[in-house]
Structure 1
Amino acid sequence: MRGFVFFQLVLVGLSSAQQPCIPPSGKPGCVCDTADGTIDLSSISSTDGTAKFTGIPQSNGDTQFTYSYNPCIWYYEGSGSCSDGKTAACQSTQNYDYYMLGDASTETMYIDSSTGNNYLQYDNGQDSRVTKVYLTCDQNADTPSITADGDVELSLTYIYHLTTKCACPGGCGDSSIPSDPPTKPEGGGGGGGGGKSGKSSVAPGIIGIVLVIVMLIGFITYFVVGAVVLNRKFEKEGKEMIPQKELWFSLPFLVKDGCVFTFGPLVNFIRRKAGKGGGDYENIK
């Protein structure tokens, strides 16, 4: 019984330490009034439909993934779920696949009054992905910086660390967020340096390769099925098992005649210009 009571007290203590902050009326979830002042990230948000932070490498050195992020309002990037107009954070791969890591409309700031470990959380990402952006208050950080850990600690929960003076109570002034949602930038969005937007997730030339493979399979099937039919039904053997044998045996000569007919006049013209005579194109056979 004592153990149960102690467990309940721990849960109460944890829940009281981290509290979701309801933003002031008309403000986005990246704004929170605290006892020490207002935390307001709106001044470091991009409002033109692109991300404030792009091309963020994964902190453990894994070069397969890069990340982007924009506080306060959504942005568009690349293709797939990150281009749907609700992205707060996005992961992209070297193959130009994009995964939306959090819906901007779910943005909630959590205030930890005991440790100061405040963070923003975004839910409803692709395949239930969740993103947490931990805020580091640095009064000297006029230019914000950000790192991305990926989901190495807990699968599908992505961790960012944002350092800025705007994470400090009273560190940054209010910057209005447009009431009209940002429209998709021309070319599909993606937000500047380091971004990989506008690229297709299908590698160039893959469609051509597939078509060639399909044609080869079709030719092989044609000859195999034709040979079987000629052998079983008509009792043909050897070269006689080749479907439409006359056509395939005459094909090289037909190609030759076609080349003579097509290029013969050109050859004769060149020969005449070169002073070497030239007559009927049949002479080049």
Structure 2
Amino acid sequence: MVTTDLLFCFIIVIVSSIKIAYTHKTCRHGDIDTCRCDLVNGSGVIDISFGNQDETPLYKDLKGPDNTYAYNPCYAFSSDDGITGLAALGNDGYGNFGVGQQKGASWNTDESGSLFILYSSGDKYFNSTVNLFCDDQKTSNDVIAQGTDNTYTNYVFDFSGPALCPIVAPEDNKLSIGSISLISISAIFFVYLVSGIIYKKTRTGATGTDLIPNKNFWSSIPGLIKDGAKFLVNRCKYRPEADYDNI
């Protein structure tokens, strides 16, 4: 029973580590971030934390084909008629309407590998897609409002400039997910081993190698590995003979 529980714990730790490793598709430290993305492909960090921090948009009066827009990277702003928490705002000439909130902003890549940030509005009806284009030949970072796509609920902005180019940060010697998983598994095994030894020593009076918890199981592992290897080799070598009738 103890052996089964131990194996179950190991499986849970490994599966959880794999799940964490594959959860973040775009940014190493999480795709939900309003300001910064450390790209999983190792190309560097994109930091858009240069937006206004005074509740006003850095980019305003952006003329689109249909409406006028405002956008502020990283920090939320408010409209003059009381819409708060905004990343992007539209105005159709009759009034303002939110097309994206900073809260929940997610970094993504499309099928071609192009990077964009997706913002959802407070009512979850409208979205804004901000396409990011690295252009280190420019001296400023600019936003162009493209209007809605063919869904009529997603507003598209093109954000380009040198700030959208990944910057390779110096190694900070942080542990990788694999290292964390290995340390976690080793710690669990150590606790299991020490607890088992103490239990067998105090409760059963075991000595020597008999102190090892589930000794028979662990001593059988080399043999099981050997048998498994032999099975695989023999399966690969096995070729069924043709079944011919005698003449």
What is the TM-score of this pair, normalised by structure 2? 0.53
Q: Distance in 1 between matches of 2:89 and 2:123?
A: 10
What secondary structure is seen at the aligned counterpart in 2 of 1:115?
coil
For 1:68, the aligned partner's letter is: A
For the 8 Å contact 1:102–1:123, the answer to whether it is kept is: yes
For 1:30, the aligned partner's letter is: C
Q: Distance in 2 between matches of 1:155 and 1:171?
A: 37
1:50 matches 2:43: no
Q: Distance in 2 between matches of 1:88 and 1:140?
A: 26
Q: Which residue of 1 is the match for residue 103 of structure 2?
A: 105
- Could you say if the C-alpha distance between residues 159 and 75 of structure 1 is closer, same or farther in structure 2, counting changes exceeding 3 Å? same
For 2:119, the aligned partner's letter is: Y
Q: Distance in 2 between matches of 1:87 and 1:78?
A: 12
Q: Distance in 2 between matches of 1:66 and 1:126?
A: 20
For the 8 Å contact 2:83–2:98, the answer to whether it is kept is: no
1:153 matches 2:150: yes
> 1:124-143, aligned counterparts within 5 Å?
124-126=121-123, 128-143=125-140
For 1:90, the aligned partner's letter is: L
Q: Distance in 2 between matches of 1:128 and 1:151?
A: 13
What is the TM-score of this pair, normalised by structure 1? 0.46
For 1:109, the aligned partner's letter is: W
Q: Deviations over 1:198-241 (max 9, x none)?
A: xxxxxxxxxxxxxxxxxxxxxxxxxxxxxxxxxxxxxxxxxxxx
> How many residue pairs were aligned?
145
Q: Distance in 1 between matches of 2:138 and 2:29?
A: 24
Q: Distance in 2 between matches of 1:142 and 1:28?
A: 25
Q: Distance in 1 between matches of 2:168 and 2:136?
A: 7
For the 8 Å contact 1:106–1:123, the answer to whether it is kept is: yes
Q: Distance in 2 between matches of 1:149 and 1:171?
A: 30
Q: Which residue of 2 is the match for residue 39 of structure 1?
A: 46
Structure 1 residue ranges (4+ consecutive) displaced by more than 4 angstroms after TM superposition: none
Deviation at 1:28, TM superposition (A): 4.1
For 2:68, the aligned partner's letter is: T
- Could you say if the C-alpha distance between residues 22 and 52 of structure 1 is closer, same or farther in structure 2, counting changes exceeding 3 Å? farther
1:68 matches 2:66: no
- Could you say if the C-alpha distance between residues 102 and 23 of structure 1 is closer, same or farther in structure 2, counting changes exceeding 3 Å? farther
Q: Deviations over 1:8-31 (max 9, x none)?
A: xxxxxxxx9x9343647xx94331
What secondary structure is seen at the aligned counterpart in 2 of 1:105?
coil
Higher relative contact order (CA 8 A, sep 6+): 1
Q: Which residue of 1 is the match for residue 211 of structure 2?
A: none
Q: Distance in 1 between matches of 2:135 and 2:168?
A: 9
The RMSD of aligned alpha carbons is 2.8
